[in-house]
Amino acid sequence: MGADESVSDRVLTVPNAISAARLVLVPVFAVLLARHQDLWALVVLVVSAASDWLDGVLARRLNQVSRLGRLLDPAADRLFILVTIVALAARGVVPWWIVVVLLVRDVVLAVMQLVLARAGWAPLQVHVAGKAGTLLLLYAFALLLLGSLLPGGWGLVVTAVGWAAALWGVALYWVSGALYLAQARQVLGEERA
């Protein structure tokens, strides 16, 4: 595949270190939220969202796009979103339907990745819609958590902005899922031809 020519097998890169740190932050966030240390949990969530954007930018600018990074970054994203939505739903900050909607999309794409792997294909390249959806969701969850902590009108305003970001994030998350499925269908169709 032509797009893979600039992808290295390097493991020790700055973007991979950032993605690994984001993975380490997942249980930290969960513990902080479980202990009702919401402000620290909020800080971890915002740092995670910012690092998700930063690792991709650095990978391209430093020419450090790697096969490991292509696996590590989306895995960190999926795990952070899963833990965040379950923890926030358990706390009553978000409804359980949002957990189901996001989880169904991730399960469908996990099955797609297994089918591609069995056919000998590497994971598909990340779409801008997927990155934008993930970033919106992470910031939406941070805003919804913050809104639940703020009193009165400020809490309502922040919560409203958080829900707007969440709904756009869910929409982009599903649009990117449809793009991934179309790309996988094309790749598998070309292989059969």
* pLDDT-flagged residues of the chain (< 70): 1-5, 193
Q: What confidence score (pLDDT) does residue 60 get?
A: 81
pLDDT per residue as tens digits for the range 77-86: 889 889 999 9
| Residues facing residue 182 across a β-bridge | none
pLDDT per residue as tens digits for the range 95-115: 999 999 999 999 999 999 899
Q: What confidence score (pLDDT) does residue 193 get?
A: 64
Q: What confidence score (pLDDT) does residue 75 get?
A: 84
CATH number for the domain formed by residue range(s) 2-192: 1.20.120
Between CA 81 and CA 1, with CA 188 as vertex, the angle to 5 degrees is 85
Report the predicted TM-score, pTM, of the whole model to 2 decimal places: 0.82
